[in-house]
């Protein structure tokens, strides 16, 4: 008990020292930022948000078309004589209500300006708390996602202890082996999950994302309840496959909704708040052992499934309507005819493969995906093999590790993720003021975080005592988990709104492919031990080298990505604006 208290003090002190000074700023306003005016733009299409670098004042020409421009609230539709379009700037949520002349009209003809000026120069973006109706239901749903899919790992017990019973161990109750459990934990979930990720991303670009979110949460919750009621291994396997399919639809819809409903200056922080669901869900899954001891494995899964149903209900009531879906319902017949004519002229319609090819058409996105893949590989190796290593290295502290690891993941992981988003927003704004690309500024956070994580993990693996190992593990989580929000913010800003869902689905697929890394590590580990190598030392060496290499190489890829963004190949379908 004394040792646990000491570890808790270590973690709390370190977390407060590193993140304490910044937490008040997370919920407060940023310093006032000036909005630049009368700069160039780079494209307009019906029913899409077109990224622009600043706000243009009334009377400015847009792509050579005489127009009347005004500053409006974020997400306002642009009414024109030929349809509805939407503009959104890279500055604080600036949107414009734009009116074109009718074909053949004179410059003097009235075009009904309909101008609003709610966002003006010098306005600060609102605090992140003002977007709780968006973030809170999405976060609760994501926690359910992670809790449902990870709880399986803690509800099996393959030891020979006489205390293991069918009431608390799923494998004993349903009579399945370690190999069959391995299928449930990996292939059964990830196979369909990986395939469905691309489809889910493309579908989120074309469908009601609120409905997709609610439907997906309901589906994986039903799969969880079905697992709780299963009477055989085959039923659990089917439920696990169905869960993988449903879970694939969570993040593409969520991240693109955040992009469309939160001002650009807040997207990295908002993405990080949403991404913290990974750590909250992972911590709850680790503590599922407590539910298992009190309710049995069936009762534990039933509790988790009911929570998922409740989060789906909350999202259906609280989550705002999908702005893209509302725009589609307001499309005029003329716009539909224009889109149809454009498709006829091009001779083809967008497909999943063409969308994916377009997403990967810029060096920025390619470097971003490669860096993310390497970062996923490092993180998944830790997630899969850290617990077996610590049980081998410190067998007398196995019970303490379960609780302390949950605390580290739930506290340090969240602090790092949210802090990384906050820092990314600040650095991105500073980069713009210095004349650099905003994305290159944001990427400084994952570059620095990954470089710091490598020595922290090496020291974790080199620790000679359990207390020292847990201290460095806490440090590793504090510096390593800051990458997710900034990377998502850069990805969404670079691919544009029409391909955001597809890009997010590809990002999820990248993480699924990253599951190969712990599989390869396990193969190497098995070969080494089969040849007589000492278990603990072998696993320690593989984890040290593999994870640190992943961190360092991912930092290099993110640095190359930042350089490519600043050199001009920054936004899908757009040229560099100088």
**pLDDT the model gives residue 520:** 85
Domain that holds residue 224: 127-336
Token representation of residue 532 = 């007589």
- Residue 12 inside a domain? The answer is no
Residues 100 and 132 in one domain: no
CA 86 to CA 95: how far, in whole Å?
Answer: 7
Q: Can you give the pLDDT at residue 33?
A: 34
Q: What is the distance between the alpha carbons of residues 559 and 283, in angstroms, rounded to a whole number?
A: 31
Q: Are residues 325 and 361 in the same domain?
A: no
pLDDT at 410: 82
DSSP letter (8 states) at residue 55: B
Residues in the chain: 578
Within 10 angstroms of residue 104's Cβ, the number of other Cβ atoms is 6
The 10 Å Cβ neighbour count of residue 425 is 29
Q: Answer yes or no: do 182 and 323 share one domain.
A: yes
**One domain, residues 164 and 180:** yes
Do residue 135 and residue 104 come from a single domain?
no
Give yes or no: residues 132 and 254 share one domain. yes
Same domain for 308 and 422, yes or no, is no
Domain boundary residue among 284, 311, 336? 336
Asked whether residue 234 falls in the same domain as residue 296, the answer is yes
Per the domain annotation, does 392 fall within a domain? yes
Where among 310, 336, 362 does a domain terminate?
336
Structure tokens at 470: 């847990």
In a domain, 69, yes or no: yes
Q: Could you read off the pLDDT tens digit of each residue along the chain, which spans 578 residues? A: 444 444 444 444 444 434 443 343 333 333 333 333 333 333 333 233 333 333 333 333 333 333 333 333 333 333 333 333 333 333 333 333 333 334 444 444 444 333 333 333 345 556 667 778 899 999 999 999 999 998 888 888 776 778 788 998 898 899 888 778 877 877 788 888 888 888 888 888 888 999 999 999 999 999 999 999 999 999 999 999 999 999 999 889 999 999 888 888 888 888 889 989 988 998 888 788 888 889 999 999 999 999 999 999 999 999 998 887 656 555 544 455 555 554 454 444 457 788 888 889 999 999 999 999 999 999 988 887 887 788 788 888 877 887 888 889 889 988 999 899 899 989 998 999 988 999 999 999 999 999 999 999 999 999 999 999 999 999 999 999 999 889 988 998 888 777 888 888 899 889 888 878 887 888 788 788 788 777 778 889 999 999 999 999 999 999 999 999 887 654 554 433 33
Between CA 406 and CA 411 the distance in angstroms is 8
Domain membership flag for residue 30: no
Residue 535 CB neighbour total at 10 angstroms: 14
Give the pLDDT score at 129: 72
| Residues 441, 487 within the same domain | yes
Please list the helix, strand and coil fractions of the chain in percent, rounded to the nearest 5, in that order: 70, 5, 25
Question: Is 10 among the domain residues?
Answer: no
Backbone angles phi, psi at 184, to 5 degrees: -60, -45
pTM confidence score: 0.66
Give the CATH number, domain containing residue 257: 1.20.1250.20
22 within some domain? no
Please indicate, yes or no, if residue 86 is contained in any of the structural domains: yes
Pairing type for strands 83-89 and 49-52 reads parallel
Whether 455 and 547 map to the same domain: the answer is: yes
Verify that 53 and 153 share a domain, yes or no.
no
d(CA 59, CA 115): 11
Q: Which of 66, 99, 120 is the last residue of a domain?
A: 120
Please check whether residues 370 and 387 belong to one and the same domain: yes
Neighbour tally for 69: CB within 10 Å: 22
pLDDT at position 20: 41
Provide the domain count of the chain.
3
Q: Tell me if 226 is assigned to some domain.
A: yes
């Amino acid at each position: 008990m004394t040792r646990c208290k000491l570890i808790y003090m270590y973690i709390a002190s370190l977390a407060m020292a590193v993140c304490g000074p910044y937490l008040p700023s997370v919920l407060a306003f940023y310093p006032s930022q000036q909005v630049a005016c009368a700069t160039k733009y780079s494209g307009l299409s019906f029913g899409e948000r077109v990224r622009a670098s600043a706000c243009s004042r009334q009377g400015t020409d847009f792509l050579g078309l005489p127009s009347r421009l005004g500053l409006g609230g974020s997400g306002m539709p642009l009414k024109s004589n030929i349809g509805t379009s939407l503009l959104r700037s890279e500055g604080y949520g600036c949107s414009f209500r734009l009116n074109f002349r009718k074909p053949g009209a004179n410059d003097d003809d009235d075009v009904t300006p309909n101008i609003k000026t709610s966002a003006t120069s010098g306005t600060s973006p609102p605090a992140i708390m003002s977007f709780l109706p968006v973030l809170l239901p999405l976060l609760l749903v994501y926690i359910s996602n992670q809790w449902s899919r990870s709880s399986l790992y803690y509800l099996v017990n393959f030891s020979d202890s006489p205390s293991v019973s069918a009431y608390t161990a799923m494998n004993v109750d349903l009579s399945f082996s370690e190999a069959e459990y391995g299928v449930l934990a990996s292939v059964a979930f990830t196979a369909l999950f990986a395939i469905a990720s691309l489809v889910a991303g493309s579908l989120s670009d074309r469908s009601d994302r609120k409905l997709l979110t609610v439907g997906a949460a309901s589906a994986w919750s039903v799969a969880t309840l079905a697992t709780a009621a299963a009477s055989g291994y085959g039923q659990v396997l089917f439920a696990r496959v169905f869960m993988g399919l449903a879970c694939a639809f969570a993040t593409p819809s969520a991240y693109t909704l955040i992009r469309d409903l939160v001002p650009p200056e807040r997207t990295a922080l908002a993405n990080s708040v949403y991404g913290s669901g990974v750590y909250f869900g992972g911590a709850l899954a680790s503590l599922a052992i407590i539910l298992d001891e009190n309710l049995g494995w069936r009762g534990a899964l039933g509790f988790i499934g009911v929570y998922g149903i409740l989060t789906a209900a909350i999202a259906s009531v609280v989550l705002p309507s999908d702005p893209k879906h509302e725009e589609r319902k307001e499309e005029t017949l003329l716009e539909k005819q224009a889109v149809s004519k454009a498709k006829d002229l091009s001779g083809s319609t967008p497909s999943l493969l063409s969308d994916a090819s377009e997403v990967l058409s810029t060096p920025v996105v390619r470097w971003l995906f490669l860096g993310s893949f390497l970062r996923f590989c490092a993180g998944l190796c830790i997630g899969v093999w850290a617990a077996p290593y610590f049980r081998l290295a410190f067998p007398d502290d196995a019970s303490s590790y379960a609780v302390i690891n949950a605390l580290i993941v739930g506290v340090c992981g969240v602090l790092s993720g949210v802090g990384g988003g906050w820092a990314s927003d600040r650095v991105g704004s500073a980069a713009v003021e210095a004349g650099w690309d905003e994305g290159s500024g944001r990427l400084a956070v994952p570059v620095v975080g990954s470089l710091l994580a490598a020595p922290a993990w090496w020291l974790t693996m080199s620790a000679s005592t359990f207390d020292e190992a847990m201290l460095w593990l806490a440090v590793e989580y504090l510096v390593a988990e800051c990458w997710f929000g900034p990377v998502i913010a850069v990805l969404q800003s670079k691919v544009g709104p029409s391909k955001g869902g597809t890009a997010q689905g590809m990002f999820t697929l990248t993480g699924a492919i990253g599951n190969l890394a712990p599989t390869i590590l396990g193969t190497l580990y098995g070969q080494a031990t089969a040849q007589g190598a000492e278990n603990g030392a072998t696993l320690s060496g593989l984890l040290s080298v593999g994870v640190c290499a992943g961190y360092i190489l991912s930092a290099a890829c993110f640095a190359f990505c930042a350089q490519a963004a600043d050199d001009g190949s920054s936004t899908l379908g757009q040229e560099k604006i100088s």
